């Protein structure tokens, strides 16, 4: 619905063709592989990208309100980047990137719900995202390319040259990557806090980031019964 009401023309046609191919995989894709990261459950990817999109649209309005430069992108661009920033987590179009972990020990003691697919070519999520979009004939502007690539900020060491340049020639010329970093981190942190609350786990000095201790093994890990999309986008 979001795609059909946002895009038009060749881009809309190409996106719908891509989603016709990927829809079954998207339904089962998590947003991460480890429970105490964020949304490590089937459907977690959809929940995450919709929440990031919601955050990004709200931030776009805030950027405009406070006078930040938004001259080189519009709300359609924001939605495109936000909803596709983690597309590479789906896999390569044929193979799934996340595979359910068959080791109950690792699930209970490390929260490792999924393994990554060792049979696939190694790529960063952002690189695989770019690969998938071009594979399905979806063209990117320079601003869209940079914003998808830089969404993880300095958590991805390869982004340092883009984000830490101080000279006029090397500093960012668009604010969208910064907007996307904030929208993504806010969503991931919310999802993590939601999981912590559901498990009644509080982060401590010895339990950094809410990782379960030996006394808090993740037994009987279950997927949520329902993802509350209405709370993100309304009816």
pLDDT in tens, 52-83: 999 999 999 999 999 999 999 999 999 999 99
Number of H helices, E strands in the chain: 10, 2
Instruction: Flag whether pLDDT at 213 surpasses 80.
Output: no
* Residue 224: pLDDT band with limits 50, 70, 90: very low
pLDDT band at 161 (very low <50, low <70, confident <90, very high): confident
Q: Check residue 157 and give its pLDDT.
A: 85
CB atoms within 10 A of CB 201: 18
Q: What is the mean pLDDT of residues 145-174?
A: 88
What per-residue confidence (pLDDT) applies to 203?
Answer: 63
* CB 130 within 8 Å of CB 53: no
pLDDT tens digit string along 15-43?
999 999 999 999 999 999 999 899 999 99
Letter string b/e over residues 39-49, b meaning 16 or more CB atoms within 10 A of that residue's CB:
bbbbbbbbbbb
Which pLDDT value is given to residue 206?
58
Question: pLDDT (tens digit, 9 = 90+) per residue, 126-142?
Answer: 999 999 999 999 999 99
pLDDT above 90: percentage of residues in the chain: 69
pTM over 0.75: yes
- The DSSP symbol for 88 reads G
Q: Give the pair of three-digit tokens for residue 182.
A: 């904030």
Separation of alpha carbons 209 and 198, rounded Å: 15
| Higher-scoring residue by pLDDT: 9, 213 | 9
φ/ψ of residue 226, rounded to 5? -155, 135
pLDDT digits (tens, 9 = 90+) for 181-205: 999 999 999 999 888 888 777 666 5
- Residue 155's pLDDT band (cuts 50, 70, 90): confident
Per cent of the chain over pLDDT 70 is 85
Tens of pLDDT, residue by residue over 85-128, are 999 999 998 999 999 999 999 998 889 999 999 999 999 999 99
């Amino acid at each position: 619905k979001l795609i059909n009401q946002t895009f038009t023309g060749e881009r809309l046609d190409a996106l719908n063709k891509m989603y016709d191919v990927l829809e079954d995989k998207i339904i089962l894709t998590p947003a991460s592989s480890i429970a105490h990261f964020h949304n490590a459950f089937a459907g977690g990817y959809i929940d995450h990208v919709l929440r990031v999109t919601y955050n990004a649209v709200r931030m776009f309005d805030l950027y405009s309100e406070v006078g930040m430069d938004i001259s080189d992108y519009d709300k359609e661009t924001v939605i495109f980047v936000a909803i596709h920033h983690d597309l590479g987590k789906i896999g390569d179009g044929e193979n799934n990137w996340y595979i359910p972990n068959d080791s109950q020990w690792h699930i209970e003691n490390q929260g490792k719900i999924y393994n990554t697919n060792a049979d696939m070519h190694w790529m960063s999520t952002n690189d695989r995202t770019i690969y998938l979009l071009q594979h399905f004939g979806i063209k990117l502007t320079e601003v869209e390319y940079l914003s998808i690539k830089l969404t993880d900020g300095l958590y991805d060491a390869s982004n340092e040259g883009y984000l830490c340049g101080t000279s006029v020639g090397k500093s960012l010329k668009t604010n969208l990557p910064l907007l996307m970093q904030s929208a993504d981190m806010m969503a991931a942190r919310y999802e993590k806090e939601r999981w912590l609350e559901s498990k009644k786990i509080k982060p401590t000095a010895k339990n950094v980031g809410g990782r379960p201790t030996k006394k808090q093994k993740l037994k009987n890990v279950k997927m949520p019964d329902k993802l509350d999309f209405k709370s993100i986008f309304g009816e």
